[in-house]
Amino acid sequence: MEGFAGLVNEALGIGIDNKEMGAGQMALRAAIVYLVTVAIVRMGKKRFMGKATAFDVILGIMLGSVVSRAITGNAPFLPTLAAAAVLLAMHWLMSGIALRAHWFGATVKGHAYPLVKDGTVDWKTMRHAHLTRHDLEEDLRRKGLTDLSQVAEAWLERNGDISIVKAKPPPEVIDVEVRDGVQTVRIRLG
């Protein structure tokens, strides 16, 4: 077994100065770190790398920073991979707590903020979120809307997106006129 362990250590450049590490050793480290990181992330939650909150983005940044050290040899190989697993376990635990304790979820993930209600912009919230009218109009256009009167509600979500609920259009009224002594019929659509 000593022979196999010695072969693995040599192949990965374990125990040598990172400046002495060859391209093959670093490439093998990169391949192993990639596979281990994919496995670690697959154990995490589906949303972690999707439309994420700042809580999720922080994990992504930290995970990338930690595992990169395992590739370059700036930190010990196996302890670095263990640290990456601990980061994901902490994220998993905290998201589980946030699921069960709303106050904790709001603390680590933030809140959604109402930006528009019945076509009226809440400028105080817009300023607080550092959003301009142009930012809001851009998101409206992405949703196929060109006027604030078309918006029932708009919210700044925890992940930074702006979600928009369209206003229901007013009912359309059609007048139908019938001649020769028959009354006018009024039809209301909507």
Kindly report, residue by residue over 30-46, the tens digit of the pLDDT: 899 899 888 877 776 65
Q: What is the mean pLDDT of each run of 10 residues along the chain (190 residues)?
A: 77 80 86 87 64 77 90 89 90 88 87 93 94 92 90 90 88 72 66
Alpha helix (H) ranges present in 48-178? 54-72, 77-100, 102-109, 123-128, 133-142
* pLDDT at residue 131, as a whole number: 93
- Are 104 and 98 in contact by the 8 Å Cβ rule? The answer is yes
* pLDDT at residue 47, as a whole number: 57
- Are 85 and 59 in contact by the 8 Å Cβ rule? The answer is no
CA distance 15 to 5: 12
* pLDDT at residue 68, as a whole number: 92
Domains and CATH numbers, the chain: 2-106 (no CATH), 111-190 (3.30.240.20)
Spacing of C-alpha 161 from chain mean position: 9
Nearest to 172 by CA among 153, 152, 159, 188: 188
Kindly report, residue by residue over 63-98, the tens digit of the pLDDT: 889 999 988 888 888 899 999 989 988 888 988 898
Q: How many CB atoms lie within 10 A of CB 73?
A: 21
43 exposure class (CB count in 10 Å sphere: 0-12, 13-18, 19+): exposed
